[in-house]
Structure formats: structure tokens, C-alpha cells
Amino acid sequence: MRDLALTLTQVGWTPAFARQLAQHPAGLLPARVIAVQRTGLTLAPEIHGLKKVAVAGRFFVQGVEARPTIGDWVLVDPVTGALEAVLVRSSLIKRLSPAGEVQLIAANINTAFIVTSCNADFSLSRLERYLSVVIDAGITPVVVVTKIDAVEEAAAYVTQARSLGPDIPVEAVNALDETTLKGLLRWCGPRQSIALLGSSGVGKSTLVNTLSGQEVQTTRAVRSEDDKGRHTTTSRSLHVLPYGGVILDSPGMREFQLAEAEQGVESLFMDVERIASACKFNDCKHGPEPGCAVRNALADGSLDARRLASFVKLQQEEQSNRAAIAQRGRRHQVASKKKPL
């Protein structure tokens, strides 16, 4: 975000956040976190010329979710320049990092553009992974299928994407051509915050540039042998759109392990859950048990084997990751009790 002479409204301020101010000491000023460094945050609007604040140690001892992340609204003391509070979030996107830690991806997002391209990147199971997290966070998901100009049969990819769920919007675009992005604009208006999620090279930064009407992010061609991107974007950043909303560009993620997303998985795979509820035994593992509705549905073609496998995998992953996170949390509590600050 280049222009720091921005107003609160331009970076997504809403009356719901304004109402939270009453619960904090008077005189503190709100700002949005538009970039995160190791120990500091970049804010917009600036607070009396101050555009960066340090994050005090106390934000690090209360667990990962207490730390401010990109998209957060924070309160700053304009006299001391100290970060005093993080406002209660309307939503939070998180994942389990490859190191096994909960990583916050973005806060206070309304809509997630889950981006995939019409090439080797396209994977329904990966899309289901993103969808589970986004739905769990109460965020509107939109599947954005890019590079429709680069293939003969873009419609086949779009049809597959539409099979993900009856209520999940799918938009097919050429990210380089603004005339194809009209369908996305309904999510880009004032007070809207959009996050871009997807692998490297699918066109996330290209979408930011075309929607912005200017080159704000660097983009780079994908490898021709496997369509994989080159991890061109290396940090997260928020950008103001001419339509009134803000959009968050992120580095392409190699892995998107679920942190806690139980409700999201259940909601995305409601159709499978509904079938399984008709199994004769409550604890049916859908193996050799008699009266298994899931096996019957697979046999008569009303349930797709890939979708079932994806559901089982995400459900198991979510359960084991959630248990590991809870375990870490307990260890963290014990450790921080031993070392009072």
C-alpha cells in the first residue's frame, strides 16, 4: 500500500469496529495493520506521522492468536506511540505452518478469493482444503479460476469447480483482462476486505494489479514444465481498490494444513455427512459393515470416491492437528506460568 495518507474508511473501517472503541480508554487511535514484520507492524492511516509500531512482549505470551496480524485493527497511544490493543476480530484465517505451529494468515476478511488456474495447479481436493478453512472462519468463499484464455477447454475446469458445492460462487477469469473481472466486483466495494489464497503462480498478484488498474505488485511467469510459480510474492500486503474495498495479496502457499476448522469441514461436506447418517451403525467406518449407506452411494454413483477420500483426509487431519495445537497450548501455559514477566 503506497499511499499512506489514507482514511480509516478507505482501509475498511466499519461501524462495528467503531463501537468497540467505547470499551477502551479514550484518546487511543485506531489503525489497520497493512504489513507485519518480525517485531513491528506497518499501519494505515498513519498515527500523527507514525507508520510503524513495535509489538510489546505481552502480545507474545498470550498465545499466537493474541498477536496482531495483517488486517487487524489496533489501538495506538498517539502520545507514546505504543500499541495498546487489538480489536476483536470479525474473522480470522489461520493454518498450521510446515513447522507445526498455528500461523495467522489474515484478520477481518469478508471474502476470500480462492485462486486456481486452468492447468496442472487445478486440484479439487486442494480447493476443498481452502474452502474448509474459509467457511470455518465465517468468510464468503469465491473460487476464482484463472488463465481461461490459455486453454481450449476452460469450461471443463469451471464445471469441476462448480461441483464443490451448490452455494460456492465460481468465477472464471483471465486475470490480465479487466473485462473478465466484472463478476468479482460485487465483493470489492466499500468496507469489504478480500483475501487472495492459492498456490504460487496462479495469478493472485496479477488480479491485484488488474483490479487496481495499476502495477502495484510484481508478477512472474510460471515454469513451463509443471505450471508451478516461482514464489514471486514473498510477504503479505494490503492494497486499496478503486471500488472502495481492500485486497490482501499473499505469497503462494506450498502447503495449507488445517489448524482448527471442524465446522468448516462439516459444512463443506454436508452432503457426505447426510449420506453417512443413514448408515445402519452409528460408528460405521464405511468398510465391510452391513447397511452402509456410504458404500451404497459410491456403488450407485451418487457419491464420488474422490470427494469421500478428501472428506476423510481433511476430517482426520483437522482432528489430529487440533489435538496437537491443544497440547502445545497446555505446554505454553505451563511455561508462561513458570516465567512471569
Ligand X SMILES: Nc1nc2c(ncn2[C@@H]2O[C@H](COP(=O)(O)OP(=O)(O)OP(=O)(O)O)[C@@H](O)[C@H]2O)c(=O)[nH]1
Options 10, 108, 110, 146; binder of ligand X; rule CB under 6 A: 146
Angle, helix 154-162 to helix 124-136, in steps of 10 degrees: 40
Q: Should residue 275 be labelled a site residue for Zn ion when binding is judged by CB under 5 A?
A: no
Residues facing residue 53 across a β-bridge: 41
Q: Which CB sits closer to ligand X, 174 or 193?
A: 174
Q: Should residue 175 be labelled a site residue for ligand X when binding is judged by CB under 6 A?
A: yes
As a whole number of angstroms, the distance between CA 154 and CA 320 comes to 37
Q: Which CB sits closer to ligand X, 62 or 218?
A: 218
**Residue 229 near residue 178 (C-beta atoms within 8 A):** no
* H runs (alpha helix) in the chain: 15-20, 124-136, 154-162, 204-212, 262-268, 270-276, 293-299, 305-338
| Binding region for ligand X (CB under 6 A) out of 8-16, 160-168, 184-192, 227-235 | 227-235
Angle, helix 305-338 to helix 124-136, in steps of 10 degrees: 50
52 membership: H or E segment, kind and range: strand 50-54
How big is the site for Mg ion, counted in residues (CB under 5 A)? 4
Number of residues written out for the chain: 341
Q: Should residue 233 be labelled a site residue for ligand X when binding is judged by CB under 6 A?
A: yes
| Binding region for ligand X (CB under 6 A) out of 10-18, 215-223, 295-303, 323-331 | 215-223
**Residue 252 near residue 219 (C-beta atoms within 8 A):** no
Q: Return the C-alpha cell found at 283.
A: 460408528
Q: Should residue 237 be labelled a site residue for ligand X when binding is judged by CB under 6 A?
A: no
Options 150, 155, 185, 326; binder of ligand X; rule CB under 6 A: 150
Q: Should residue 279 be labelled a site residue for Zn ion when binding is judged by CB under 5 A?
A: yes
What are the counts of helices (DSSP H) followed by strands (DSSP E) for the chain?
Answer: 8, 13
Per partner kind, with CB cut-offs from 5 to 8 A, the member of ligand X, Mg ion, Zn ion, none near residue 284 is Zn ion
Residue that has been written with the C-alpha cell 487487524 in this structure: 72
**Residue 140 near residue 112 (C-beta atoms within 8 A):** yes
Q: Return the C-alpha cell found at 111.
A: 471474502
Options 83, 86, 284, 314; binder of Zn ion; rule CB under 5 A: 284
Q: How far is the CB of 196 from ligand X (least distance, A)?
A: 8
Tell me phi and psi for residue 89, to 5 degrees.
Answer: -80, 150
Q: Which CB sits closer to Mg ion, 32 or 204?
A: 204
Q: How far is the CB of 210 from ligand X (least distance, A)?
A: 9
Per partner kind, with CB cut-offs from 5 to 8 A, the member of ligand X, Zn ion, Mg ion, none near residue 286 is Zn ion
Per partner kind, with CB cut-offs from 5 to 8 A, the member of ligand X, Zn ion, Mg ion, none near residue 175 is ligand X
CB neighbours of 139 closer than 8 A, spacing ≥ 6? 91, 93, 109, 110, 111, 112, 195
| Binding region for Mg ion (CB under 5 A) out of 87-95, 200-208, 299-307, 331-339 | 200-208
Q: Should residue 297 be labelled a site residue for Zn ion when binding is judged by CB under 5 A?
A: no
**Interface ranges with Mg ion (CB under 5 A):** 204-205, 232-233
Interface residues with ligand X (CB under 6 A) are: 146-147, 149-150, 173-176, 200-206, 219-222, 229-233, 251-252
